Amino acid sequence: MPGRWTHSFEEDHDGISVYRRDDYAFPPARGRRGVQFRPDGTLLTYGLGRADTPEERPAGRWSSDGRITNGRIVTATLDRLEIRWEE
């Protein structure tokens, strides 16, 4: 699961955010948010910065049991990640 994942908002459902690997064939959209799970347990989010380019922001920690800061991983496969974020 470590690596960078891009928000596939078209696939969101039931309060769950869906993410795909960066090489996924996304439909055209004006900027996409994302998350990165670093091997050291650091979690980063990517928001929209200037000119709709991704801007990295520290977001907390993640663990292999599916726990993340402010949420939890619901489903993780090789090409799809579903996260239920807490408000």
Per-residue model confidence as pLDDT tens digits over 54-82: 678 888 999 988 899 889 999 999 999 99
Q: Is 83 exposed, middle or buried (0-12, 13-18, 19+ CB in 10 A)?
A: buried
For residue range 2-52, what is the model confidence (pLDDT) as tens digits?
Answer: 889 999 999 999 999 999 998 899 998 877 889 999 999 999 998 877 766
Total count of domains within the chain: 1
> Can you give the pLDDT at residue 61?
92
> Can you give the pLDDT at residue 31?
77
pTM of the model: 0.86
> Can you give the pLDDT at residue 28?
87
Domain that holds residue 38: 3-85
